[in-house]
Structure 1
Amino acid sequence: MEFIWYMVLILISTKAAGHLSTLLGQPSVLGKLLAGIVLGPAVLGWIEQDQFIHYMAETGVILLMFIAGLETDLQTLKENWKSAFSVAVGGIALPFLGGIGVGEAFGLGFNQSLFLGVILSATSVSITVQVLKDLNRLQSREGTTILGAAVVDDVLVVILLAFMMSFLGEGAEPSSISLLIGKKLIFFIGIVGAGWFIVPRFMKWFSKMNVTEPVMSMALAVCFAFAYFADQMGMAAIIGSFAAGLAISQTAFKHTVETKVEPIAYGVFVPVFFVSIGLNVSFAGVAGQLGFVVVLTVIAGLTKLVGGAVGARFTGMSLNSSIAVGSGMVSRGEVALIIAAAGLQANLLESGYFTPVVISIILTTLIAPPLLKICFKKSTQENGHRLRS
């Protein structure tokens, strides 16, 4: 019954830490992430990253991105697709080169340096989504650009990872590249077709059933089905759940689903996800590699920020808005952690560098919330100045 005690600790600590964070002028998510570090092996060691935490956290991040899809204005997303693509490309190219440079500077083999570049190229906007919601900017041009860029980023990084694993990893199979690209095409054709033709009819049909909460249950079924399909096609599950949210947002059930899924997500599952990120931190044996951690974290943050900002600026965004978009791409989160673990298994990342890399990933995730708040504050002030002019 230890998992029940875990839930008590997580729910109390995340809400208390989130509230304290807002009192200090920071986004609440920063306090929740720090709560995970304090409760985990890095400090108190009261909670371990076991299978229960893993499944609850996976559900939490899937629901978080499902809500983001529900709240996203599809028309604004379509209007900003050029910016999203440009941001994604800029946010991959510069970190990839930066990762190679860090690897070479610290004496890693060329293959391992390449893989370090892949890790730094990843983006996870699950934390960013929470900050955007807190700042009421999820539906802004910057917010929709970040969300769109995250989808493109995921596709490009997964393909890049596949090339690395196929040609350089253990058990390499170059022929798997065409299969992987084929899966990506199947995924996008499948979700567009299902989102456009099947989901509205599916929801309407089940809404007429004389059972408890049919709309809510079927919305969650769509969410998890899309997430599972994405995972089977080699995509991040959160891209599938985001697409599910977009699909349901185009139906008459959007408001009903949104108001009922948020209490479930934020009351139970999302707090576990925030804590699970912090549980990955361990300071054992890091003292000798402190320089590597610092350099990697700085390069990871700067290259993603600058790369994303240049991409946004290239498509006509103002300087402050471009920097805000770039800051929204800084967090590596669970996506980079998954890639790092895959690299460790394929001997593309030395075991001695795994913990320092994980700490750098966590640090970018911790940097993102306060950085986003500062950048969006400047962007809001600029927009307000323009309106007054």
Structure 2
Amino acid sequence: MIIFQLAIILLASKIAGDLAARIGQPSVLGKLLIGIILGPAVLGIITSTEIIDELSEIGVILLMFLAGLETDIEEFKRTGKASAYVGVIGIIVPLSLGYATGLFLDMSTFEAIFLGLLLSATSVSISVQALKEMDKLKSREGMTILGAAVIDDVLVIIILAFLMSAAGGEVNLGMLIAKKAGFFVVAILLGWIAVPWLLRRFAPLRVTESVISAGLIICFLYAAMAEYAGVADIIGAYIAGVAISLTDFKHEVFEKVETIGYSVFVPVFFTSIGIAVDFEGLGSYIGVIAALSLLAILTKLLGSAVGAFFAGFDWRSSFGIGSAMVSRGEVALIIAAIGLESGLLAEQLFPVIVIVVLVTTVVTPPMMKAFFKA
């Protein structure tokens, strides 16, 4: 059954991506929408399974690994200030307005703060693909977006830890922050010393594709290490890509991993987002879904755009950067699951949040296209 599902996903995602490109939209939009059509929300041909989910996870890890390989480290350094502005203000605005909205909906103080935190999360895995298609990934805007995503992820998780501690959750704040700081220190040291050493040792091995295997080993180890430290695994994969981009093996690893990723795993990731959607029983929440979706889009768009403008970008580029930060993706879903388990998110609101996350993900590529091509 899984073999048939893979065949359908790959066929449909490629055709849908091509159709989206033909009408002037990023191909990733077609891949997201075809997932909804194939999934239980419409046709029910494909259902979310553990194997599909695991393949999807590999897909997003490889996508962010490729983004790291394409990173211009000098440009990345130059955009550090801009990334900080975008990341921080892009959290303050949705967190504040999300909190106010939660109080308006008669949530408790902690629940309202958690709603604001959910709206503050971002995941640029979808944005990375749109940037690649528009040839913007290596631009100043692209580097700012990637840097802001790292800052956003770290700050949101730290705020979540404080919130759970204050709400009575069993969270050791000192240990949590130490683990995150330790991850970045270890990741940088390994990137400086161990990554080049491992690639040089693997290169002369008399086996096929030894360098590519070494690159993937580094990618997966970094992703696992990040996840253990409480940082999103896609951040670990991205840093692994950056580390390899500083070596002489950058182009060889990129070309082969791009082939591996985009032939199977990345299409499964894009399509699986839509497959996970199920509208059953949400009819009575249409108003809440619409209001929260609008709030999620506008707060992240405006907050991040203002941050970019303060950092020196013109308004067109600022809104392009803001639109790239709108997608909440898997980061928000992970936070929502934590909130559900800890009692900070009501059970009936969980499927609502899933739909809101999907909406932010689907609108991101066309918004980016509109602002960056304006």
Amino acid at match of 2:202: F
Alpha-carbon shift at residue 87 of structure 1 (Å): 0.3
- 5 Å matches for 1:124-203? 124-168=123-167, 172-174=169-171, 176-203=172-199
Structure 2 distance, partners of 1:206, 1:325, is 39
Residue 9 of structure 1 pairs with residue 16 of structure 2 = no
- Distance across 1 between alignment mates of 2:111 and 2:280: 22
**Sequence identity (%):** 51
- Give the partner amino acid of 1:160: I
What is the deviation of 1:98? 1.9
Q: Does 1:270 align with 2:266?
A: yes
How large is the Cα RMSD of the aligned pairs?
1.0
Amino acid paired to 1:114: I
CA distance in 2, matches of 1:48, 1:112: 32
For residues 185-204 of structure 1, the C-alpha deviation after alignment (integer angstroms, 9 at most, x for no partner) is: 10110010000111011101
Cα distance in 2 for residues equivalent to 1:105 and 1:14:
41
In the alignment, is the contact (CA less than 8 A) between 2:87 and 2:149 conserved in 1? yes
Q: Deviations over 1:95-116 (max 9, x none)?
A: 1112112222222232221111
Of 357-366 and 315-324, more deviation after overlay is shown by 315-324
TM-score (norm 1): 0.94
Which amino acid letter does the alignment assign opposite residue 90 of structure 1?
A: I
Instruction: Kindly provide the CA deviation profile for residues 49-92 of structure 1, in whole angstroms up to 9, marking residues without a partner as x.
Output: 21101110110000000000000101100000000011000111
Counterpart of 1:104 in structure 2 is 103
Kept in 1: contact 2:83–2:144 (CA 8 A): yes
Q: Alpha-carbon deviation of 1:266? A: 0.5
Aligned residue for 1:234, secondary structure, equals coil
Q: Residue 89 in 1 paired to residue 88 in 2?
A: yes
Alignment partner of 2:233 out of 215, 237, 242: 237
Write the mapping of 1:309-324 to structure 2, written as runs, cut at 5 A. 309-324=305-320
**Does residue 1:359 correspond to 2:359, yes or no?**
no
1:123 aligns with 2:122: yes
Match of 1:79 in 2: 78
Deviation of 1:177 after TM superposition, in Å, equals: 0.7
Counterpart in the other structure of 1:205: 201
Offset at residue 31 of structure 1 (A): 0.5
Q: Measure, in 1, the Cα distance between the counterparts of 2:329 and 2:352.
A: 15
Compute the displacement of 1:337 (Å): 1.0
Q: Do 2:47 and 2:276's aligned partners in 1 also have CA atoms closer than 8 Å?
A: no
Offset at 1:319?
1.3
Q: How does 1:38-57 map to 2 (within 5 A)?
A: 38-57=37-56
Counterpart amino acid of residue 29 in structure 1: V
Q: Secondary structure of the equivalent of 1:42? A: coil
Matches within 5 A, 1:254-265: 254-265=250-261
The answer for the alignment partner of 2:373 in structure 1 is: 377
Tell me, yes or no, if structure 1 residue 226 matches structure 2 residue 222.
Answer: yes
2:211 alignment partner in structure 1? 215
- Structure 2: stretches of 5+ with no match in the other structure: none
Cα distance in 2, alignment partners of residues 99 and 41 from structure 1: 30
Is the contact between residue 102 and residue 295 of structure 1 (CA under 8 Å) also seen in structure 2?
Answer: no
Letter in 2 for 1:349: L
Distance 1:350 1:45 in 2: 28
Residue type matched to 2:61 in 1?
I
- Tell me if structure 2 keeps the 8 A contact 1:207–1:214: yes
Cα shift readout 1:259-314 (whole Å, capped 9, x = no counterpart): 11111100000011111211222111211111111110111001101110111111
8 A Cα contact 1:167 1:173, kept in partner: no
Number of matched pairs: 374
- Residues of 1 paired with 2:326 and 2:339: CA distance? 21
1-structure distance, mates of 2:30, 2:103: 35
Residue matched to 1:382:
none
Which residue of structure 1 aligns with residue 282 of structure 2?
286
- Rounded to whole Å, the distance in 2 between the matches of 1:292 and 1:109 is 17
Cα distance in 1 for residues equivalent to 2:71 and 2:349? 38
TM-score of the superposed pair, with normalisation by structure 2:
0.98
1:348 aligns with 2:347: no
Q: Distance in 1 between matches of 2:179 and 2:61?
A: 21
